[in-house]
Amino acid sequence: MTMNQFFKIVLMCGLTYTPYASSDFNDIFFDEEDDYAFMNEYLDTAAIDCMTRTIDPQEIMTILNLIDYPSIIQNPLFKETNILNKRSLLDQPIFEPDRAVFPKNGVFTASFFARKTSRSNFTKNSTKLCSYIALTDQLLLASLQNSVIKIDELFPGFDINVEKILNLFANMTVDDRQTGFMFQYMQKWHNTTFRILAPLYYFENNFSLTKEEQDAVAQEFGEQTPEEEKAFRKAHFISDKIGMGDTRIEIDQRILKRPSLTFRAGIQATIPTAFTWGGGFLGSRFAKPSTLPTLDLEPIFEAFENPTPETEQFALNNLGNFFLDAFDRVAANLLDTKLGNNRHLGLGVYVRTKTPLRAYINSSFAEKINLTNRISAEFFCPSMEKRFYTNRINEQAFNNRNFKDLSQASENLQFLEEQTIERLFLQAFTTRIRPGAIFRWTNCASYAGQRWGFNLGTDFWIQSKDKFSTIYASPTVLNSLDVPKAKPPFAEQSKVFAGVILKHKTPQNYFFVSLNADATLSNKGLGNDYGVSLNFEANF
């Protein structure tokens, strides 16, 4: 048999499927037809015209045993299935008041901003896809390479370096970009201050490889035209949308005022007002099904029985669509992120302090500097979210089967088909989630001169793990889900931020223009991001 014939056989193992069919495996079926007879236990028999005969489960299981497929499918593919932690725009330090003193009681601010996260964390300490999907797992790699060696023994020339291919994607990560406007309004009444802020913004997530990594992939799999590459990235690698974010309301009261310290305490609420106006401009929206695909091999083998360039392309397309559908569920989990905080109401408390530097240093410069602090803790109410899960591997079910017993070939084949689908496809179930509490501490030194000023500060943000209470799935499904893998990691981040401010005074009002920026110093479970904002502020 030539290599060309062998690859035809491989292609004929492609799948025609209904992507969101019932998850009951009784509804999942295969009709097998193929030309593997020469590789059954009668390998020494004469060649058979395989194109015209029907292959039965015994012959298929003989092939799968020869390449040790049961040991491959017994390895987990997904190491984690959690969503990526995201820090709310409402918690970014560049949207904090950039001055300690406001000359009027009413303040309106419109900020044009742009943010980017260059590498998001899949786990607490890793930004690499191989920490999420077992692309570098030595047991899986060894099983795959062992099968390649056995195939090469049967068909010399079938030489594939599995580790090299999977390593091409091991360092892949997720970038995100946000740009838009943050609107703020603040009003003071005697000792009480009211503040509200809400963003209107565009949000884009994408899978990312370095230029060198992209070149290596192109060298391995072949170049695409710019149009083909753009269409592929839009369909599978990018998700974007535009809309309103959540709304933050803060009310605080002055508790203490001394020459060396002003102390305020208040409450805050994050109202789930986020909604999407539109999406799919540069990328796609991805479905989050709770079902597994229904597999049907019969049309593929019908194409194989009448081989033409068209039928071979049909088989190839179905095989590609099968794996892309599995990958799109990963994209749905990691890229298709809602605006806001997934409809969770947040309630919290905070304190603000202001200390004139002149209380500690007696100089004219110190008189214009104030030291400010904001410390807050926010808790969230439970709400329903779609979360993705993978199934635990039932080791006992594997151990109870003798895959080499051809009298059980039909049952063993169905079992391996089910396990293949479970390994490749994530399932999304509505889950009652209570997000982790958020603690935040921001401190800043602000200088206010006659015409200009500046601020410089640090910010520390931390969020505990989510709590899962109820997963809306059948008891049988629940018993098989690997729930711990779906829980996002603990997240923390420290930042530095700064800004410059220009003041303009009219007989009635004050106007300020400021440029602010922040950058990540360190993080765990979140990602390195940075942002800039251009603020236009009116005091009246």
Distance CA 170, CA 186 (A): 47
Q: What is the DSSP-derived secondary structure letter of residue 297?
A: -
Asked if pLDDT for residue 214 goes beyond 50, the answer is yes
Closest to 451 in 3D by CA, of 502, 498, 506, 500: 502
Asked if pLDDT for residue 426 goes beyond 60, the answer is yes
Closest to 132 in 3D by CA, of 94, 176, 164, 170: 170
Distance CA 265, CA 507 (A): 33
Residue 392 belongs to what domain range?
3-539
Query: Which has the minimum average pLDDT: 36-50, 142-156, 265-279?
Result: 36-50
Distance CA 453, CA 501 (A): 5
Express as a percent the part of the chain with pLDDT over 90: 68
Q: Structural domain tally of the chain?
A: 1
pTM given for the model: 0.86
pLDDT of residue 67: 85
Longest Cα–Cα distance of the chain, Å, equals 102
Place of tokens 């997530």: 205
- Domain containing residue 112: CATH number: 2.40.160.40
Region 254-278: mean pLDDT is 95
pLDDT of residue 39: 35
pLDDT tens digits, 89-114: 999 999 999 888 898 999 999 999 99
Across 381-411, b (16+ Cβ under 10 Å) vs e yields: ebbebbbbbbbebeeeebeeeebeebebbee
pLDDT of residue 302: 54
- pLDDT band with cut points at 50, 70 and 90 for residue 365: confident
Per the CB < 8 A criterion, the answer to whether 240 and 202 are in contact is yes
Q: What 3-state DSSP class applies to 361?
A: coil
pLDDT tens digits, 43-87: 333 333 333 345 577 877 887 888 898 999 999 999 999 999 999
